[in-house]
Amino acid sequence: DTAVSQTPKYLVTQMGNDKSIKCEQNLGHDTMYWYKQDSKKFLKIMFSYNNKELIINETVPNRFSPKSPDKAHLNLHINSLELGDSAVYFCASSQVGGRYYNEQFFGPGTRLTVL
Amino acid sequence: QKEVEQNSGPLSVPEGAIASLNCTYSDRVSQSFFWYRQYSGKSPELIMSIYSNGDKEDGRFTAQLNKASQYVSLLIRDSQPSDSATYLCAVRLGGATNKLIFGTGTLLAVQP
């Protein structure tokens, strides 16, 4: 009964490759997020979708492209991977508004290593 | 000035003591405040949320919010070695988006 799941858990790839990370939530939330946590453990928002609409788009290289086919799924595609993209990528979800006060719940993370 | 500031620690407390974790934020219109616990190699886990000035208690955890001073804290009573983790303070900025800004986290070490 995993709430927020991500695949893959680990991703090791060469510079220049293209890769995707997938996220799914079964909490019935309407908003999903991608975060990046760097080697210094700083957690930073990248993107957010509310009901399939992009609502947060931080200053992220356009090699990163999120896509939300429905409100339970959010994917992240990364083109032309660079060494600096190595990090842990977390997906999160929340229900905006109402009594849940926008509490965000995180998936297990995908550790991306670019060689 | 960072938007959300925390002392990186490590904060070392003996087992059974009260651990006090502090966080300050710069956006005066922030309305929602969260504490997450992150064990090494794991994802952040929401442990407390607070929206009104004052204290909010949940088991051994108490969150305290002072909007006038732009300060939020987390107290952990009867600290256990299993509480050893990084504690992340997160602040929801004012405005229409549900954007959370995280602090860099405080590493708590509870000594048996």
Q: Supply the pLDDT for residue B8.
A: 86
Question: Taking CB atoms and an 8 Å cutoff, what residues of chain A touch B45?
Answer: 106
The alpha carbon of B43 is separated from its chain's Cα centroid by a whole number of angstroms, namely 15
Q: Is the pLDDT of residue B97 over 90?
A: no
Q: Phi and psi dihedrals of A84, rounded to 5?
A: -70, -10
The CA distance from A39 to B18, in Å, is 29
User: Using an 8 Å Cβ cutoff, are A91 and A6 in contact?
Assistant: yes
Question: Taking CB atoms and an 8 Å cutoff, what residues of chain B touch A103?
Answer: 34, 46, 49
User: From first to last of its 115 residues, what are the pLDDT tens digits of chain A?
Assistant: 679 999 999 999 999 999 999 999 999 999 999 999 998 889 999 999 988 889 888 889 999 999 999 999 999 999 999 999 999 999 999 987 665 567 899 999 999 999 9
The CA distance from A88 to A56, in Å, is 19
Which of B100, B101, B102 is the best residue to mutate to test the A interface, defined by the most A CB atoms within 10 Å of its own CB? Answer: B100
Which residue is closest to A38 within chain B, CA to CA?
A: B104
Task: Give me B43's structure tokens.
Answer: 């994802």
CA angle, A102 then A57 then A112, to 5°: 90
Task: Give me B6's structure tokens.
Answer: 């925390």
Burial B12-37 (b: 16+ CB within 10 A, else e): ebeeeeebebbbbbeeeebebbbbbb
The CA distance from B46 to A3, in Å, is 13
Task: Spell out the SS3 assignment of A10-55.
Answer: EEEECCCCCEEEEEEECCCCCEEEEEEECCCCCEEEEEEEECCEEE
Contact A44/B at CB under 8 A = yes
Query: What is the tens place of the pLDDT at every residue in B17-75?
Result: 999 999 999 988 888 999 999 999 999 999 999 999 999 999 999 999 999 999 999 99
The CA distance from A63 to B50, in Å, is 36
